[in-house]
Structure 1
Amino acid sequence: KRSVEDHFDTAYELENELEQAGKTELLKIARSISPDDMVCSYVRQPRALGLGHAVLCAEQLVGNEAFAVLLADDLMVGQPSITAQMAEQFAVHQASILAVQDVPLDQTNRYGIVSGTALNDQLTQLTGIVEKPAPANAPSTLAVAGRYVLTPRIFEELRITPKGAGGEIQLTDAIAQLLRKEQVLAYRYQGTRYDCGSKLGFLQATVDLGQHHPQVGAEFSAWLAQRHA
């Protein structure tokens, strides 16, 4: 956990060394990790009691504002970013929004699955959400990806959500209660998701993003092509 805090901390010694050596490009990269206008605050989840509990731990920091939840296992690439797309939708609708994607029916037991009424090609008004249903019981094949924009009312629901399987507080259960009281939308995002919680997904992300790297992408792609020749 400390490694995340250290990553976004200012590395004074490194920056001084790069500055003294005249390595201006590397210095720009080091400073871009934690720009002057960014403030990082951290909250630790004392026990592994589920995603819902982790979100609830951040209540004092968030206060009475809408906020975004980004799950690190899901690397999501879009232009603009998936979170920026969702923030734009929130500005219009002022409602909680879940990023969703279509998945094969035989994979519904890996995701939270939503049901609802389509408002347009991108937005669905939720009428239900269930965590990892068996294919035979899945209400749809529209799966929640790792991005959420939530209203602060979710904290009220999390506080009264009973513990589910494994003694965990599930964010999905709290959202199921929330949509009975206020509008919740599902958004078909524009972009690509990599499941970096799996070895295959991590490798796929590494290769795809490596091929698009501005400095080494072309050379890396040529090397891959040579390997497959």
Structure 2
Amino acid sequence: MKQVRKAVFPVAGMGTRFLPATKVVPKEMLPIVDRPLIQYAVDEAIEAGIEQMIFVTGRGKNAIEDHFDIAYELERTMADRGKDVTILDGTRLKPGNAAFVRQQEPLGLGHAIWCARDIVGDEPFAIFLPDEFMLGTPGNGCMKQMVDAYATTGGNLISVLEVPHDQVSSYGVIAPGGRNGAITEVTGLVEKPKVEEAPSNLIISGRYILQPDVMRVLETQAKGAGGEIQLTDAMARMIGTQPFNAVTFDGRRFDCGSHLGYVEANVAVALERSHLADPLRASMRAMLDR
């Protein structure tokens, strides 16, 4: 069983829900306290042992590429002023470990993943949706939990979380089979089902480990929900031909594609910072008491 060495980050979306902030700033560069969303996703990948990061970008996304490059002037200025330059270490990927490919048209998540087919090659690979901010314990992030499970199950894996039944129509949902601890067999997948037709309340939560065969399925995948090529539809066609399981993430998820989720993620991260937690709690109590 091949090791998961590559990860695909589909980051070509326009981020219209966060306009005007995203007019010139990619939504993936919006900060959670002091680090951009995309940095958290890359750090999660590195923690899980992934080596190569593949970014599927679009027009106006150059800031993402620049973020993971060396910044000569900034680093030199900081060093000359006696400031700690090591704070930037995590933003510089090793030479050759970052690849960028363009998705010229917004044809859906499945199409974005397919754009990375030549770089992925014939290897299993991970997918990260940076909007899905997954907050786990240090050393045991969502993808680390999935890679650990993959060593047992092989095949295809997706991360899932339980949501209230009245929210399932906003997500991809699994039809569950047998369960063994945090691992659940996936017998079917439905993209954004009607509440009354949803097979469960276990939603796909933005992390995947897939076999390269999905690229060949995506080549012929018809448009689905929203008139887009859906990754969920392609994965559904693979069920029964390869092992397909879900891992229930032991941690918290924040939908940073929504205003409320983005604010909640900032608060959650700030509360885990020792120098911010107590002042923030006091400030929030004061605001709520007004």
Once residues 218 and 81 of structure 1 are traced to their aligned partners in structure 2, the CA distance between those partners, rounded to angstroms, is 25
Which residue of structure 2 aligns with residue 126 of structure 1? Answer: 186
Cα deviation for residue 228 of structure 1 reads: 3.0
Other structure's SS at 2:257 match: coil
1:59 matches 2:117: yes
Once residues 35 and 177 of structure 1 are traced to their aligned partners in structure 2, the CA distance between those partners, rounded to angstroms, is 35
* Alignment deviations for residues 11-57 of structure 1 (CA, whole Å, 9 cap, x no partner): 11100111111112xx1112232154772111111110100000000
% identity of equivalent residues: 38
Once residues 123 and 134 of structure 1 are traced to their aligned partners in structure 2, the CA distance between those partners, rounded to angstroms, is 25
* Alignment deviations for residues 103-124 of structure 1 (CA, whole Å, 9 cap, x no partner): 1111110111111212313111
Q: Is the 8 A contact 2:174 2:189 kept in 1?
A: yes
1:50 matches 2:50: no
Other structure's SS at 1:10 match: coil
Task: Pick from 126, 129, 132 the counterpart of residue 68 of structure 1.
Answer: 126
Which protein is bigger by CA-based radius of gyration? 1
Q: Is the 8 A contact 2:191 2:225 kept in 1?
A: no
Structure 1 residues 122-201: aligned runs within 5 Å: 122-201=182-261
Which residue of structure 2 aligns with residue 98 of structure 1? Answer: 158
Once residues 275 and 103 of structure 2 are traced to their aligned partners in structure 1, the CA distance between those partners, rounded to angstroms, is 38
Q: Is the 8 A contact 1:10 1:31 kept in 2?
A: no
Once residues 53 and 149 of structure 1 are traced to their aligned partners in structure 2, the CA distance between those partners, rounded to angstroms, is 17
Task: Pick from 70, 78, 82 the counterpart of residue 22 of structure 1.
Answer: 82
Which residue of structure 1 aligns with residue 270 of structure 2? Answer: 210
Q: Which runs of 5+ in 1 are unaligned?
A: none
Other structure's SS at 2:64 match: helix
Count of residues in correspondence between the two structures: 227
Task: Pick from 98, 106, 115 the counterpart of residue 40 of structure 1.
Answer: 98
* Dislocated runs of 4+, deviation >6 Å: none
Once residues 230 and 94 of structure 2 are traced to their aligned partners in structure 1, the CA distance between those partners, rounded to angstroms, is 35
1:82 matches 2:153: no
Q: Is the 8 A contact 1:109 1:133 kept in 2?
A: yes
Aligned pair in 2 of structure 1 residues 217, 37: CA closer, same or farther (>3 Å)? farther
Cα deviation for residue 208 of structure 1 reads: 1.4
1:228 matches 2:267: no
Aligned pair in 2 of structure 1 residues 56, 120: CA closer, same or farther (>3 Å)? same
Once residues 168 and 272 of structure 2 are traced to their aligned partners in structure 1, the CA distance between those partners, rounded to angstroms, is 31
**RMSD, aligned α-carbons:** 1.5
Cα deviation for residue 167 of structure 1 reads: 3.5
